[in-house]
Structure 1
Amino acid sequence: MPKRNLNAAVVKRLKPPASGQEDNFDKGYPGLALRISYGGRKTWVFFYRLHDKQRRMKLGSWPAMSVAEARQAWRDARNEVEAGKDPAAEKLEARRREPDTVERVGEQFIEKWHRPRNRTADEVARMLERHVYPVIGHREIGDIGRRDILDVLDKAEARGLSVGVNRVLANVRRLFAWAVERGLIETSPVTGVKPPAKEQARDRVLTDYELRAFLVACDKAGPPFGAVFRLLLLTAQRRDEVVSAAWSEFDLREKLWRLPGERTKNGKPHDVPLSQAAVELIAGLDSRDHSALLFPAWFARDGQSEQKERPVSGFGRAKNRVDAAMLAELRRMAEKRGDDPAKIALMPWRIHDLRRTAASGMARLGVGIHVVEKLLNHTSGTFGGIVAVYQRHDFADEKRAAVEAWAEFIATLSSKSIQELASEAAD
Structure 2
Amino acid sequence: MKLTPKTVEHLKAGDNRRREVWDLTLPAFGLRVYPSGRKSFFVMVRVRGEQKRKTIGTYPVVSLREARERAREIIRDAQFGILDEEPEEQTLTFDETVPMFIKLYAKPRNRGWKETERILLDKFQALSNKPLDQIRRADVVRILDDLIASGTPYRANRALSAIKKLFAWALDRGMVDVHPVAGLSPLHTEAARERVLTDTELEALMDAADTEGYPFGDLFKVLALTGQRRGEVSGMRWSEIDLERAIWTIPSARSKNKQSHDVPLAPQVVAILKSVPRFLGSDFVFTTTGRTPISGFGRAKDRIDDAVGASDWRTHDLRRTVASGMARMSIPPHVVEKVLNHKSGVISGVAAIYNRYGYEKEKRKALETWADYVEALAHASEAPVNDGPVDQGLIESA
When normalised by structure 1's length, the TM-score is: 0.63
CA contact (8 A) 2:305 2:311 kept: no
Corresponding residue of 1:364: 328
Which of these residues, 250, 257, 260, is aligned with residue 266 of structure 1? Answer: 257
Which of these residues, 71, 85, 102, is aligned with residue 110 of structure 1? Answer: 102
Q: Secondary structure at the match of 2:248?
A: strand
Shift of 1:424: 4.9
Distance in 1 separating the partners of 2:173 and 2:224: 42
Shift of 1:426: 8.4
Q: Does residue 352 in structure 1 map to residue 310 in structure 2? A: no
Corresponding residue of 1:182: 173
Q: Secondary structure at the match of 2:253?
A: helix
Which of these residues, 106, 110, 113, is aligned with residue 121 of structure 1? Answer: 113
**What do you get for the CA RMSD once the two structures are aligned?**
2.9
Shift of 1:125: 3.5
Corresponding residue of 1:384: 348
CA contact (8 A) 1:247 1:288 kept: no
CA contact (8 A) 1:244 1:294 kept: yes
Shift of 1:153: 2.8
Aligned residues: 300
Shift of 1:104: 4.4
Q: Secondary structure at the match of 2:249?
A: strand
Cα distance change of structure 1 residues 244 and 426 upon mapping to structure 2, 3 Å threshold: closer
Q: Does residue 295 in structure 1 map to residue 286 in structure 2? A: yes
Q: Does residue 150 in structure 1 map to residue 132 in structure 2? A: no
One-letter code aligned to 1:279: V
What CA deviation, in whole Å up to 9, does each residue of 1:223-250 have, x standing for no partner?
3322221111111111222223333322
Shift of 1:358: 0.6
Q: Does residue 247 in structure 1 map to residue 238 in structure 2? A: yes
Corresponding residue of 1:315: 297
What CA deviation, in whole Å up to 9, does each residue of 1:322-371 have, x standing for no partner?
221112xxxxxxxxxxxxxxxxxx48322211001011112222321111
Cα distance change of structure 1 residues 172 and 310 upon mapping to structure 2, 3 Å threshold: farther
CA contact (8 A) 1:273 1:399 kept: yes
Structure 1: tracts of 5 or more residues without a match: 1-96, 299-306, 328-345
Distance in 1 separating the partners of 2:111 and 2:285: 17
What CA deviation, in whole Å up to 9, does each residue of 1:194-241 have, x standing for no partner?
323221012221121221112122223343322221111111111222
Corresponding residue of 1:131: 123
When normalised by structure 2's length, the TM-score is: 0.67
One-letter code aligned to 1:265: K
Corresponding residue of 1:162: 153
Corresponding residue of 2:272: 281
Corresponding residue of 2:191: 200
What CA deviation, in whole Å up to 9, does each residue of 1:397-424 have, x standing for no partner?
211121111111111000012xx14x75
Corresponding residue of 2:339: 375
Corresponding residue of 2:53: none
Shift of 1:374: 0.8
Shift of 1:395: 0.6
Corresponding residue of 1:414: 378
Distance in 2 separating the partners of 1:363 and 1:109: 43
Q: Within 5 Å, which residues of 2 pair with 1:57-68?
A: none
Q: Secondary structure at the match of 1:293?
A: coil
Q: Secondary structure at the match of 1:415?
A: coil
Q: Secondary structure at the match of 2:284?
A: coil
Distance in 1 separating the partners of 2:200 and 2:293: 31
Cα distance change of structure 1 residues 292 and 215 upon mapping to structure 2, 3 Å threshold: same
Distance in 1 separating the partners of 2:150 and 2:325: 32
Q: Percent identical across equivalent pairs?
A: 41
Q: Secondary structure at the match of 1:119?
A: coil
Q: Within 5 Å, which residues of 2 pair with 1:77-92?
A: none
Which of these residues, 359, 363, 366, is aligned with residue 395 of structure 1? Answer: 359
Q: Secondary structure at the match of 2:378?
A: helix
CA contact (8 A) 2:238 2:284 kept: yes
Q: Secondary structure at the match of 2:190?
A: coil
Distance in 1 separating the partners of 2:120 and 2:160: 10
Runs of 4+ in 1 over 6 A off after TM superposition: none
Distance in 1 separating the partners of 2:196 and 2:358: 26
Q: Secondary structure at the match of 1:266?
A: coil
CA contact (8 A) 1:228 1:243 kept: yes
Distance in 2 separating the partners of 1:119 and 1:158: 30
Distance in 1 separating the partners of 2:90 and 2:334: 54
Distance in 2 separating the partners of 1:238 and 1:277: 18
One-letter code aligned to 1:400: R
One-letter code aligned to 2:349: G
Cα distance change of structure 1 residues 204 and 425 upon mapping to structure 2, 3 Å threshold: closer
CA contact (8 A) 2:199 2:385 kept: no
What CA deviation, in whole Å up to 9, does each residue of 1:50-82 have, x standing for no partner?
xxxxxxxxxxxxxxxxxxxxxxxxxxxxxxxxx
One-letter code aligned to 2:254: R
